[in-house]
């Protein structure tokens, strides 16, 4: 789940089968009561038709938590980290970063850092599309040391400069849930 509407849809699906979550956050649902296997199967089927997936494997849950922390940080929070990404994730997930990093790389086939950069570049594409901020302001907002650093990463990920991207009539953005 990557947005408030996603959370509303998931909550609605839980309620349709008679389960009332006490908390729903990005990637997590907390239930007061236990649920039966047939409820879990029905929910999983309905979620799949909506493009969601029910995770109950510990590895997949950890991977989703890592992704959710990064998505929240980049797309819904402020990027003015007072610490580096490894400390941020270790603190927020209460696990050793090396363990998280190895698990993520093994399952996803990319590093956490590459996923983080990809999310930042998608956010930069979004901000460029709005045409409200300068490239310098976008670099500052996304916690880049300077415009050149942002531009280099942007070109490495997209194959074009931010200026060329801005000139495209049809911006080639990737939805967050497809990253």
16-35 tens-digit pLDDT: 888 888 888 766 788 877 87
Q: Which residue has the higher pLDDT, 83 or 140?
A: 140
Would you mind telling me the total number of residues written for the chain in this entry? 179
Distance, in Å, from the CA atom of 120 to the CA atom of 112, rounded to the nearest integer, reads 12
Each residue's pLDDT tens digit, 46-91 = 888 888 877 777 888 899 899 989 998 998 876 666 678 999 999 9
Buried b or exposed e, range 78-111, using 16+ CB within 10 angstroms: eeeeeeebeebbbeebeeebeebbebbeeeeeee
- What is the helix (H) or strand (E) element at residue 54, kind and residue range? none
- What is the helix (H) or strand (E) element at residue 86, kind and residue range? helix 85-93
Structure tokens at 117: 């950069």
pLDDT surpassing 90 at residue 13: no
């Amino acid at each position: 789940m990557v947005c408030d509407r996603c959370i509303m849809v998931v909550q609605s699906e839980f309620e349709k089968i008679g389960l009332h979550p006490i908390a729903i956050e990005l990637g997590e649902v907390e239930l007061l009561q236990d649920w039966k296997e047939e409820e879990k199967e029905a929910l999983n089927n309905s979620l799949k038709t909506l493009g969601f997936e029910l995770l109950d494997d510990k590895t997949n849950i950890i991977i989703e938590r890592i992704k959710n922390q990064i998505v929240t940080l980049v797309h819904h929070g402020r990027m003015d980290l007072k610490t580096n990404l490894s400390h941020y994730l270790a603190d927020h997930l209460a696990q050793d970063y090396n363990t998280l990093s190895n698990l993520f790389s093994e399952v996803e086939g990319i590093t956490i850092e590459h996923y983080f950069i990809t999310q930042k570049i998608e956010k930069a594409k979004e901000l460029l599309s709005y045409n409200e901020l300068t490239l310098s302001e976008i670099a500052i907002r996304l916690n880049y040391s300077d415009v050149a650093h942002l531009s280099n990463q942007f070109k490495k990920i997209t194959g074009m400069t931010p200026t060329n991207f801005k000139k495209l009539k049809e911006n080639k953005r990737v939805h967050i849930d497809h990253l």
